[in-house]
Amino acid sequence: MVSFWLNRSWPRKSALLARAVYERYTDLVEPYGMDECWLDVSGSVDLFGSGMDIAEEIRRTTRVELGLTVSIGVSYNKVFAKLGSDMKKSDAITEISENKIEGLVWTLPSGDLFYCGRATENKLAKYGIRTIGDIAKQPPDVLRRLLGVNGVMLWRFANGLDTSPVADRDYASPIKSIGHGITCVADLENVDEVWKVILDLSQDIGHRLRVHGLEATGAQITIKDDALMYKQYQAPLELATQSAMEIALIAQDLFRKNYRWACNVRSLTVRAINLIPKGQPQQLNLYIDNERREKRIQLEDTVEAIRQRFGKRSIIPATIMGNLKMPGVRSNEVIMPGMQNR
């Protein structure tokens, strides 16, 4: 199988236009998040040439027709295709073939492997496991004892044994929950830092609920502390919602009521659960100011429309400006209309 990982940071409209380009070459186009995709072009090589040929054609076409650049990884499985796309950014193509694994992949830090987060990387380093090759060469039982079933999964990924298929572009798996989690670049040390991360994560959840036409009737928060211990709490929402703020507020309430600060917080996941189709009739709550709530939801809908046009970070809550201790977030930058960022 040949698969692509294409990594971009474009507004949603641009991502959809790019996806139309990908679909000229295969109907096996699997989105991952708002701005990334896997492609399986193994059935297209007789028509369009090798995987590298197709990658180069996609790179050229997106630049010429859309004025956009892509980072592409070409490999025989999804894990290494993703890894390849992360190695050169942007407007670049990296091929990882089976005979390149030892020289190209195994020398990389363990944290570069899909699903090997910072905490896992640090834990492995305590046992002298510092590269992807170190993971590949460990007996699976050793990794199982260290990391549970995730250790075996990482061993399979490191050895190029991922066999997960690329889904058809029309495939829609049943959505039971929508969540977003992050391992922070530094431990969260107080409630205010936790709230900012919760609110930022909830922005993505609200967007994805709207994309799929779903509403949440409950919320869940998962906390991993700096001792690598997990705690998970959930609660129902008073009304079904797509509102990022309503989901964030109940997640914050769950955290405040249940977390005792024996350790600092290493990572957080917020999840919308017990999803239902948007618009299902529901009993109104007499103790809620429904008129005020409706105005807030209309405001969030307007913000969502702006983000779809100009990018997901074109407008954000002021409270999450500054250092969120989240990787890859530049919320502290303000760009005035018609001016360059300085």
Rounded-to-integer distance, Cα 145 and Cα 188, Å:
28
94: which residues sit within 8 A by CB, 6+ positions away? 72, 73, 74, 84, 85, 87, 88
Q: Indicate if 304 belongs to the active site.
A: no
Q: What are phi and psi of 215, to 5 degrees?
A: -130, 150
249 exposure class (CB count in 10 Å sphere: 0-12, 13-18, 19+): middle
Measured CA distances, 225 to 46, 186, 200, 260 (Å):
51, 11, 19, 11
Q: Please, which residues bridge with residue 40 across strands?
A: 3
**How many Å separate Cα 219 from the centre of its chain?**
18
Among 87, 8, 89, 84, smallest CA distance to 51 is for: 84
Eight-class DSSP state of 145: H
Tokens encoding 186 = 């530094």
Among 36, 56, 121, 238, the active-site one is: 36
Residue 280, Cβ neighbours under 10 Å: how many?
A: 9
Considering just the CA atoms, what is the radius of gyration of the chain in Å? 21
List the one residue out of 102, 107, 116 whose CA is nearest residue 159. 102
318 burial via Cβ count (<10 Å: 0-12, 13-18, 19+): exposed
Residue linked to tokens 């193509």: 93
In this structure, the chain runs to a length of 342
Ramachandran bin of 203, using left for φ above 0, alpha for ψ from -120 to 50, beta for the remaining angles: alpha
The answer to whether 132 and 162 have CB atoms below 8 angstroms apart is no
Catalytic residues, by residue number, are 36
